[in-house]
Amino acid sequence: MAQIASFKLNSKQEARTISAIAKRAVEMAASAGWRYEFMDADMDITACHVNGNPLKLDELLAADEFNFSHDVFGIRRHIDRRTGKLGDCFSPRFSE
């Protein structure tokens, strides 16, 4: 049986940074003409970060649009929402 994804962060600062990343992702998606819900973005980044692929959150938030979109939308595409694991050999550039 597969492990269920955890959403337990280490600090309130991590939660704030992930929320800022999610907000930026939602705005970027909207400017491209498609919808990415804030809660989905927040949960995707959190699940990735705490389930085996820790992210350099501050660096990701500060990244240029190209690298930011690679990581955030790559996570969106490759995250298994049941386990929080990334599939298809995807590796975010801002992984620890």
> In a structure prediction context, what are the per-residue pLDDT tens digits for the chain, which is 96 residues long?
568 888 888 899 999 999 999 999 999 999 999 999 999 999 999 999 999 899 999 999 999 999 999 999 999 999 998 999 999 999 999 999
Can you read off the two tokens belonging to residue 55? Answer: 């992210």
The b/e string for 55-79 (b: 16+ C-beta within 10 A; e otherwise) is bbbeebbebeeeebbbbbbbbbebb
Element (H, E) at 29: helix 12-31
pTM of the model: 0.93
